Chain A
Amino acid sequence: MEYFLQLLLGGLTRGSIYALIALGYTMVYGIIELINFAHGEIYMIGAFTALIMSSVLTLYGFNEVSIIVLSSLIALIYSSAYGFTVEKIAYKPLRGAPRLSPLISAIGMSIFLQNYVLLAQTSDFLPFPTLIPEFNFMKNYEHVFGSTELVIVVTTVLVMILLTILIKFTKIGRAMRATAQDKKMAMLVGINVNKIISVTFIIGSVMAAIGGILIASHIGQINFYIGFIAGIKAFTAAVLGGIGSIPGAVLGGFVLGWTESFATGYVSSDYEDVFAFALLVLILIFRPEGILGKSSSQKV
């Protein structure tokens, strides 16, 4: 039973990270129907910026709290700046182009950003400081579910709630929904579609950076390649949950995290990814729109 619980909570932690990155995928996809392959790289850049900033601040003798706050904040700012710029360079000029073009552009962007960080920084793994403060939490069960894991899960849930509020109840959220439904109509009713798309990328990037910082401090090291694998997994999660749906992305993340966790725990970690992808294939075959996705009946 304890073992089951451990796997369950472990899967939850892992799923939270997928969910945070998947939110970015799902939002971007919802608005411009693009698989933003460079999203994983934004996550990586977020983590890198946090690492660089915390190292610099440590060197200049800032105290622990201000290091955590400042470096996270700067990382969020920078990753959203990157998300914004990537959209302006690689996707905006491609509105209305054949469908696959932005996808190739995104793959190109992803390769570019990886190598940019590789060249400007290093190919080595770097130790990442513990930016998540550790505290006493269920002392006797720490081996099951530690404070770091708690922070990760709670942050994810909070972020999802905030995002849902933002999208459901604010003006900008309404504009986003309108743009997702019909860009032309949105433009006609006076929504600045370009601005909305930029905002979407910025919000998505912030999520990715939060995910990046959390996972990097959980795992304790990063290199330039972490974004790619996490990106693919997160995209899988987004599709699993129903792409375009915010709770779907979170649920998809959790389901994927659990699948991997239980596959490892009860079968073998050799086939962890096989299980993850097989689940995806099965879900899409029997429920092509994903778990929470809305089935779009085609208009004829």
Chain B
Amino acid sequence: MKCMMNTSLLTCILMVVMTVTLSCTKPESQPLKVGVAGPHSGDLASYGLPSVKAAELVINETNDKGGILGRRIELLIEDDVCKPELATNTATKLVSQSVHIVLGHICSGATKAALGIYKDSNVPVISPSATNPDLTQSGDYPNFFRTIASDDAQAKLEVDFALDVLKLKKIAVLHDKGDYGKGLAEFVKGFIENSGRAELVLYEGITPGAVDYSAVVQKINLSGADAVIFGGYHPEASKIVMLMRKKKMDTIFISDDGVKDITFIKIAGEYAEGVYATGPKDVSMNPLAVKANEAHKKTYGSDPGAFFLNAYAAAQALLNAIEKSGSTDYAKVTHALRTEYVETPLGKIRFDDKGDAIGVGFSMFQVKHGRYVEIN
């Protein structure tokens, strides 16, 4: 009983102390905290690390110019390994460190898990890569924005292209059973079935990392599909394309942003020729994109990785919103994100009410002579 009394007394004292410390207003000169969250270790690290580099580049540049609103910017980099349960820890940690805005997370699942925490703490979040439609369309997360098109938009583009431009009649849809790939494939399947203009001859998931895909490739062959629409990332895509071509199949291969990566062409080599993939509008002529890529090369000595430009644009949009709104207040910043255009490597963008970017155009690309060429 005595112990109980002591405990509660101690608790009371501590709570008072806490309240006092917490309510102390912080001086404005404190740095602006930008969280960067995503997978930085584990098997998906290659999708998360480029965002860290993008954030570092943008923020170093801004800090070199004297920061923003007279405040320096501090990066808080946290790993979530793309796991929902770790993402909630990551988010809580960032929130505990009173982060102002967050660039991340990378995977849709991790993003969903983390968003609830950011929402309760009024932290705006911009993801460079989480494409799950629910994130914006459900209306559950008013604090969420993204610089990448959602799955359904991409799926629509793929299906329209297949039906209207290529006039295909038999389509096989494959996915990698992942969050992103399967989500996309579900939409593709739905659009094809609704159109009534083409037949869905195959709908299957493949196991990423499996040692061999020849069985599923044979199955595509047997199904007599004119084209394969694949939802997933480039490692599996290149394996399937290479196998199909080695087996002398000339089935058209259409895929998504996860495949519209230069690595895909480098790995698949000659076999990549003719492959279609959707992706953000060609920005290679965009001077900002050129600049960002060069900065990456200069600083890190290599070409940027996946979602680098999306992350770069997201970082710029975040800083722009803070600058334009003149504060870190949640309402003002989100309002600014929705109203103020910003020049980014992806073009001039702002966000709509749901949080999707306006101005990030999507188009279809095809591999020609070892390069992705935009199809108009």
Contact = CB atoms under 8 A, between A and B. Distances in A.
B206 A269 contact: yes
B207 A272 contact: yes
B239 A269 contact: no
Given A3-B218, A124-B305, A233 B238 contact: no
A contact face: mostly helix, strand, loop, or mixed: helix
B10 interface: no
A219 B239 contact: yes
Contacts of B215: 7, 10-11, 14, 260-262, 264-265, 269, 272
Contacts, number: 106
Interface residues of B, number: 36
B239 to A, nearest CB: 6
Nearest to A265: B215
29 contacts: A6-B214, A6-B218, A7-B215, A7-B218, A115-B41, A123-B46, A125-B234, A125-B235, A125-B267, A126-B267, A143-B221, A146-B246, A215-B211, A218-B212, A219-B212, A220-B268, A221-B267, A223-B235, A226-B209, A229-B210, A260-B210, A261-B215, A262-B215, A264-B204, A264-B215, A265-B218, A265-B219, A269-B215, A270-B204
B45 interface: yes
A192 interface: no
Nearest to B305: A124
A143 B247 contact: yes
Contacts of B247: 142-143, 146
Interface string B205-227: 11101111011101101100000
A268 B267 contact: no
Interface in A178-229: 215, 218-221, 223-226, 228-229
A76 interface: no
B248 A142 contact: yes
A220 B219 CA distance: 21
B242 interface: yes
Given A13-B214, A127-B266, 4 more contacts: A125-B238, A220-B239, A226-B209, A264-B215
A148 B235 CA distance: 20
B38 to A, nearest CB: 12
In the A-B complex, the 3 residue pairs with the smallest Cβ-Cβ separation, listed nearest first, are A264-B215, A10-B214, A14-B212
A233 B207 CA distance: 12
B266 to A, nearest CB: 6
A148 B214 CA distance: 13
A78 to B, nearest CB: 21
B211 A17 contact: yes
Interface of A: 3, 6-7, 10-11, 13-14, 17-18, 115, 118, 122-127, 142-143, 146, 148, 215, 218-221, 223-226, 228-230, 233, 260-262, 264-265, 268-270, 272-273
Nearest to B216: A269
Contacts of B212: 10, 13-14, 17, 215, 218-219
A224 to B, nearest CB: 8
A225 B39 CA distance: 15
A215 B239 CA distance: 12
Given A223-B235, A229-B209, A268 B214 contact: no
Contacts of B269: 127
B263 interface: yes
Nearest to B306: A124
A11 B214 CA distance: 8
Contacts of B259: none
A133 to B, nearest CB: 15
A25 to B, nearest CB: 15
Contacts of B277: none
B164 interface: no
B177 interface: yes
Contact of B263 (A14, A125, A224): A125
A218 B210 CA distance: 12
A190 B206 CA distance: 52
Interface string B156-187: 00000000000000000000010000000000
B322 interface: no
B235 A221 contact: yes
Contacts of A224: 43
Contacts of A13: 212, 214
B175 to A, nearest CB: 9
B49 interface: yes
Contacts of B205: 268-270
A149 B230 CA distance: 25
A124 B263 contact: yes
A122 B238 CA distance: 18
Contacts of B209: 225-226, 228-229
